[in-house]
Amino acid sequence: MSHDTPSLRPAPHHAAPAAPAATLSGDASGLRQAPLRRLLSRVRAGRLLLTLPDGARLQAQGAAPGPSAELRLHRWRPLLRLLQQGDLGLAWSYRDGDWSTPDLVALLSFGLANEAALDGAISAPAPARWLARLLHRLNANTRRGSRHNIAAHYDLGNRFYERWLDGSMLYSSALYDGPADSLEAAQARRLERILGLLDVRPGQRVLEIGCGWGTLAATLARRGAEVVGVTLSTEQLAFARERAAAWGVADRVDLRLQDYRDVEGRYDRVVSIEMIEAVGEAYWPVYFATLRERLKPAGVAVLQAITIDERRFEGYRDNPDFIQRCIFPGGMLPSPERMAQQARQAGLRLSTELRFGHSYARTLADWRRRFQAEWPAIEAQGFDARFKRLWEYYLGYCEAGFLAGRVDVGLYRLVHEN
């Protein structure tokens, strides 16, 4: 998945009539369990079975339907970290093996279903939120910062990503068309949709901003285009060049380790797949101005972008989340409205929009299954159990976000106005 993924924090909400309290049952008692009972009494939807470190069990059943989940605490520390750091503390605790669950996505979905009810009880205190904002700002996407931020995620090694991505090495949402679809078929379908939106003719020049492992660039070259692709990942660049050579298109593909802000020239088409999430809000005007400046008059740009609902944007901006802190430093999701506004201000007209967030949930589920199945080979590369749990949490966290509709993904076709 390129560059960024969702914050699952709630938007500000207006007061509503209180829902019926949760039904509690179980054999837990004592001073430690009393705060838990108070917390679980806030549950409004779904069911949670909680097993405590001493073996005692509590069950909360909300009045409304919702996910059925199970949480097993192996030590008491996660409760303190949850109170001190909010949802980030929950993520760190999972990474450290402090708790487990037989179904991570169900548990995270349960949390989302009860987020408004639980938020006041488990939000990180103000100092922790201020520190999170400061650390996020230190990851600003200057030219140097962008190189560091991209390397932190994408330079984990091509051998790592090859183990669990499909052969296309496309690390962005596929487009599914039925329950029997494989990841490979869904990625091929999405690739064809991008090519259709670009409508590239033989001999035309195409710029790909954020070319990843080079599959789209090589495919465009196979169809007769002259392609320039830029990335800030040395690992991706090496793989992409090898792919272009293996596919016999190296003479039509110019792949560079270069910041998008430093590209020159004019192109018939520009394509940028899940790259905007790594740009940073302060640089959105520069990004869209670059799209327009690099396009010839009447040229076309196609973006694939992960977006967050506009109603949640302000809260997301003010509270850097697990993804921004632990997975994609410097990342920031736009809302569709803000992205369209930036495009208009740059002189680009939105002509086509296709959203397919539930396909991203399926893509993430497929990646997560492959990651877990390939773990012995990944572990042999030198990654440890804490890394495994962190990435399981990342993939599950994003899957739950797309399933709940908190975030979306779409293809956007922009036309140069002049």
Would you please indicate which residues are annotated as catalytic (active-site) residues?
398
CA–CA gap between residue 263 and residue 207 (Å, rounded)? 9
DSSP secondary structure letters along 319-387? S--HIIIIISTT--PPPHHHHHHHHHHTTEEEEEEEE-HHHHHHHHHHHHHHHHHTHHHHHTTT--HHH
- Residue 20 gets which letter from DSSP? P
Quote the crossing angle between the two packed helices 336-345 and 310-318, to the nearest 10°. Answer: 90
CA 185 to chain centre: 21
Burial state string for 108-139 with b = 16 or more CB within 10 A and e = fewer than 16 = bbbbbbbbebbeeebbbeeebbeebeeebeeb
CA–CA gap between residue 165 and residue 290 (Å, rounded)? 30
H-only helix segments in 101-167: 104-113, 115-122, 126-137, 143-154, 158-162
* CB-neighbour burial class of residue 31 (10 A; exposed 0-12, middle 13-18, buried 19+): exposed
Q: Which contacts (CB < 8 Å, 24+ apart) does range 23-26 have?
A: 23/60, 23/61, 23/63, 24/58, 24/59, 24/60, 24/61, 25/58, 25/59, 25/61, 26/50, 26/56, 26/57, 26/58, 26/59
| Secondary structure (3-state) at 103 | coil
